[in-house]
């Protein structure tokens, strides 16, 4: 059996200032980012967003992202965790 290692990428916290929305900034970031991922052989790109805005979700769906493929959970370190 041959082991195949395939890479994936994660996009997190894409935020556009409210006063700068609808100017194509998100598109200008997302298109080349996805292009680089596909050219480098990634089999998937996952995107995490904290936005509840339908317009934001529609924007991501237009680039092929689906909210139905995975469920993401977030864990944060305990507040009393000592730092090194």
Q: Is residue 41 part of a domain?
A: yes
33 within some domain: yes
The answer to whether residue 34 is domain-embedded is: yes
d(CA 63, CA 57): 10
Whether 48 is covered by a domain: the verdict is: yes
Domain coverage including residue 37: 8-15+23-62
Q: Is 74 a domain residue?
A: no
Domains identified in the chain, total number: 1
Give residues with Cβ within 8 angstroms of 35, minimum separation 6: none
Among 54, 42, 55, 47, smallest CA distance to 7 is for 42
- Domain membership of residue 42 (yes or no) is yes
For every one of its 84 residues, what pLDDT tens digit does the chain have, with 9 covering 90 and above?
888 888 999 999 888 898 998 899 999 999 999 999 999 999 999 999 999 999 999 999 999 999 898 888 889 888 887 777
Alpha-carbon separation of residue 34 from 22, 46, 62 (angstroms): 20, 10, 13
Assess if residue 58 is contained within a domain.
yes
Determine, yes or no, domain membership for 79. no
> Is the model's pTM score more than 0.85?
no
């Amino acid at each position: 059996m041959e082991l195949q290692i395939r890479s994936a990428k994660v996009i997190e916290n894409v935020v556009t200032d409210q006063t700068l929305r609808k100017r194509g900034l998100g598109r200008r970031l997302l298109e080349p980012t996805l292009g680089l991922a596909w050219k480098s052989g990634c089999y998937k790109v996952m995107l995490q967003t904290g936005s509840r805005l339908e317009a934001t979700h529609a924007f991501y769906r237009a680039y092929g992202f689906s909210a139905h493929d995975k469920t993401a959970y977030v864990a944060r370190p305990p507040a009393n965790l000592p730092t090194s």
